Structure 1
Amino acid sequence: MRVYLPATIAMLRELNTTGEFRARNGTGFALTPALREAYASGSDEELEYAALLDAARASLRLIAAEEKGEPRRAVVSADVEGATHRPDLDAAVVRLAGPVALKDIAAIHVDAAEAEDAVTAAAAVIDAADLGDPDAEFTLGDAEDHELAWYAPQELPFLLELL
């Protein structure tokens, strides 16, 4: 199953050092039956993109929790076995069986430098947006207007060096 794992730059640095990715609380996002049911239409590709966007929003929560985090959303796409659906949390949420080896990672998605101001502002209001604050939701939209750049797993050391 393809899963989308919210990350921070610090978590990517750890992946680069250890060769495995540890999702926070084992949580990821994927195209689940519940996600498919939540949409009236959409191809698998469109629904997987929705799961990736959910992971990118969760990345904002991780950035907000870090004391001196780098303000760039990051998502790790991986192919894993044993992920289980968590319908108690949300339609796309899955729980991983354990860490993900670098060999199972398909891609890494990271914000470009020009997104940093919008990501910083969004991370500051993510909780308010979750509670329905329209101004905070607008601020989140500014960050989500930035597309995540795609990197192959073997490009990770070079990406981190350039940050």
Structure 2
Amino acid sequence: MRVYIPATWPMLRKLVANERLDPVGGTAFALTPKLRESYTVGDDDELEYAAMSEAARASLRLLSVEFGLGEDSTPARRIVVAADLDDIALRPDLDDGAVRIRGPVELSSIAAVHVDTADAEFAVRQAAGVIDAADLGDLDAEFLIGEAEDHELAWYDPGEVAFLVELG
């Protein structure tokens, strides 16, 4: 199953160094039966995009924590790692597309890495600062989240990630 794993720049650096990704809490997103049921229309590609979008929003939450810990040098870019895995469990206690990954994700299982471009950094940094307020219904915060989500993530082949990290 294709899963979308929220990540941050430091996690990407570790992926390059260790050739494996350790998802925070084992959390990822996928086209689950519950996600499919929550949409009245949409083909598999559109629903996969919805799962990836949930992972991108979760990446904002991870960035919020890093910035809150004083890691201001972390690039303000949402990162989603797409991987093909078999050993996952559904998470009905979380969002419709949430799944749990058991263990680290090996580089050989990664299909693509999606990363914000530099022009999204201002919007992403603002969004990361208000993600909790948006989750609690603050409309101004939700507007800032929307500003970040208006930026499309760039696609990278797993073989390009080392160069991306080096340039970043």
- Structure-2 separation of matches of 1:107 and 1:57: 18
Shift in Å at residue 98 of structure 1? 1.1
SS of the residue aligned with 2:25?
helix
- Structure-2 separation of matches of 1:120 and 1:90: 23
Are positions 1:126 and 2:126 aligned together?
no
- Structure-1 separation of matches of 2:138 and 2:39: 24
- Structure-1 separation of matches of 2:42 and 2:77: 28
Return the match for 1:162 from 149, 164, 167.
167
Tell me whether 17-26 or 61-70 shows the greater mean CA deviation: 61-70
SS of the residue aligned with 2:137?
coil
Shift in Å at residue 48 of structure 1? 0.4
Return the match for 2:81 from 71, 76, 85.
76
Return the match for 2:156 from 146, 151, 157.
151
- Structure-2 separation of matches of 1:111 and 1:21: 18
Structure 1: gaps (5+ residues): none
- Structure-2 separation of matches of 1:88 and 1:41: 24
Shift in Å at residue 158 of structure 1? 0.7
Q: TM-score, normalising length from structure 2?
A: 0.96
- Structure 2 residue aligned with 1:30: 30
Structure 2: gaps (5+ residues): none
- Structure-2 separation of matches of 1:11 and 1:160: 10
% identical aligned pairs: 60
Shift in Å at residue 96 of structure 1? 0.5
- Structure-1 separation of matches of 2:128 and 2:155: 21
Deviations along 1:129-152, one digit per CA (max 9) or x if unpaired, are 000000000000000000000000
Amino acid at match of 2:54: D
Amino acid at match of 2:155: W
Runs of 4+ deviating beyond 3 Å: none
Amino acid at match of 1:28: A
Q: TM-score, normalising length from structure 1?
A: 0.99
- Structure-2 separation of matches of 1:23 and 1:81: 15
- Structure-1 separation of matches of 2:166 and 2:104: 24
- Structure-2 separation of matches of 1:72 and 1:26: 21
